[in-house]
Structure 1
Amino acid sequence: MQHPSGNRTIKFILYTNKDFSTINDTINFSLTIRNHEHTVAFDSALTSIRIKDIPGPSNKWTFTKTVPNDGTILSAGFLYSIKNVGNSWFLDTVGVNQKMKTIEYPFQ
């Protein structure tokens, strides 16, 4: 079996459509890209901010990461934790033959 060659590019977009202007709780966002073996291809903390400071649709945060195509399906997306609340995530799949994937997350 021949593995695909080249790279895959994943574009992450984060924003909210909700009005969180009164919520001062801290939220920590991270980006993740993993393969089926749970090997981290990319894992990066973004920032700690107050929920009310998550950007709206006109100020979306956009991050792009290119990773080698190792011939596996990837799981990629956002991990986040809210102090005194818990952890959650928004993940999507990147197929073996997908050269470009956009993961857009309107935080709610």
Structure 2
Amino acid sequence: MRQTRQYSDEFKEQIIRECQEVGNVSVVSRRHDISANTIHTWIKKYRECGTVKAMNESSASVEQQALKQLQKVSTENDRLKRLVAEKELELAILRDLRDRVNPK
């Protein structure tokens, strides 16, 4: 059975910076005897959250709620944009009919 290692957040950020400087994850992974997949996971987490530090559960749930709210607001915004576009089209048609010299 393989034992997992625990790395500090500072060490993870140092490895990410080193990967950015070198430009090659596999070289850094061999130098520090860490799996390249592990480093790629750290980089992905860093890009998503801006840090590799683990979030506690309360902040994670707050983030999930905020994402759900954002998605709900975005959907509502799209619906309202379509509604406004339809009303603008109706107004343009009515103005065109009003301005015709001899409407039939």
Structure whose residues are more often strand by fraction = 1
Q: Which structure: larger Rg?
A: 2
TM interval, shorter chain, is: under 0.3
Higher relative contact order, chain-length normalized (CA < 8 Å, sep 6+): 1
What TM-score does the superposition give when structure 2 sets the normalisation length? 0.18
What TM-score does the superposition give when structure 1 sets the normalisation length? 0.18
Structure whose residues are more often helix by fraction = 2
